[in-house]
Structure 1
Amino acid sequence: MTSQERYEQELKQSDVDHHTPTAGAMTGHIIANLLIHTLKISQAKLFAQGPAALLLDQYADQWIVHEQATFNCLNRLLVNNGESIPTTIAQFKEYTMLEENGAAKYDAGADQLFNLVKDFDTQTLFITKAISLAQKEDWPELGANLSSLLAWIKDQIALTQRFLGHELRTGLYTEEDDDDF
């Protein structure tokens, strides 16, 4: 089988997995979200002003390092288990659920920081779903890695919401927001 045929087979299987969904497919969304989020963190660190710049100066690089390490770990875990992963820019754009807006770099620093919090929160939706699927599929190492990521993200949400002077869930997703997820 040629590399093109193998890739076409992978795309067909990936499409099936994303419509089922499977733990691997849901983790593909998480991987895409992590990549896009690291780019958004980098942008906010460069452009945010005011007090938000201080928090980003202290935490942004740690967030990026943690998300990139998790990105690499999840990619390796999926590949080692015969799962496909997003590998093209088109796939990352298709699988991410994080919103991008080039003009956002000119928003107030607190708004940029809060958008990063909302992105963390969006990631939790996919992570909790993937953990449930991993448990159903008897994939404990995936569930353990995702549970660790979930705990870390919740720490970052709490830290940043306190910094912004918000209650923990202020402005974040609630079950009433979207019945389609």
Structure 2
Amino acid sequence: MTSAEQRYEAELKQSDIDHHTPTAGAMTGHIIANLLIHSLKISQAKLFAKGVAALFLEGYGDQWVVHEQQVFKELNTLLVSNGESIPTTIDQFKEFTMLEESGADKYQPGNEQLFNLIKDFDTQTLFITKAIALAQKEDWQPLAVKLSGLLAWINAQIAIAQHFLGHDLREGLYNEEDDDF
């Protein structure tokens, strides 16, 4: 019988292989980490944003957090139910997230804090579209469907928030010509 430490080491080794392949499960691990970090960033922005962005976050922030936490739980369950690894330690969440954090963000003007949350939503879409393509390639339809729903929801949130800020839909967001993904 193998020890818990040996099993965890084997999981980490397989996770490293999956992330370099990549697989739908590995890409979804990034999505899970991004959801957790983003929900924390939304909660903090609600505490510190000032001006009209504070009013916007008062109306939408809790809905965003609840939705992201629900999808976080559903994706974790789906992956574990299919024998996939998920991030389980703070170190793994920090390693897998692609969202940027700074303690100084709370001092930015409210509209900048909100726009940073929009850019985080946009960053998440890069991983989600890649994971959908991988899930379809791997014939993992339940994952593709769940991620497609998340993508549609995030795109709607980007549109609402960009409109609120007076931005065009893609203003200031990732552009394929930037090619930094």
Using structure 2 for the length normalisation, give the TM-score.
Answer: 0.99
Local SS of the residue matching 1:98? coil
Q: Counterpart in 1 of 2:69?
A: 68
Q: Which amino acid aligns with 1:143?
A: A
Identity of aligned residues (%): 75
Q: Which runs of 5 or more structure 1 residues have no equivalent in the other structure? A: none
Q: Counterpart in 2 of 1:165?
A: 166
Q: Which amino acid aligns with 2:104?
A: A
Residues 45-104 of structure 1: per-residue CA shift (max 9 Å, x gap): 000000000000000000000000000000000000000000000000000000000000
What pairs up with 1:26-175 in 2 under 5 angstroms? 26-175=27-176
Q: Which runs of 5 or more structure 2 residues have no equivalent in the other structure? A: none
Q: Which amino acid aligns with 1:104?
A: D
1: distance between equivalents of 2:60 and 2:130?
27
Q: Which amino acid aligns with 1:91?
A: Q
Using structure 1 for the length normalisation, give the TM-score.
Answer: 0.99
TM-fit CA distance, 1:177: 1.2
1: distance between equivalents of 2:105 and 2:5?
38
2: distance between equivalents of 1:167 and 1:144?
28
Q: Which amino acid aligns with 1:102?
A: G
State the Cα RMSD in Å. Answer: 0.5
TM-fit CA distance, 1:29: 0.1
Count of residues in Structure 1 that have an aligned counterpart in Structure 2: 180
Q: Which amino acid aligns with 1:166?
A: H
Residues 84-137 of structure 1: per-residue CA shift (max 9 Å, x gap): 000000000000000000000010000000000000000000000000000000
2: distance between equivalents of 1:94 and 1:178?
21
TM-fit CA distance, 1:40: 0.3
2: distance between equivalents of 1:173 and 1:164?
17
TM-fit CA distance, 1:178: 1.9
Runs of 4+ off more than 2 Å: none
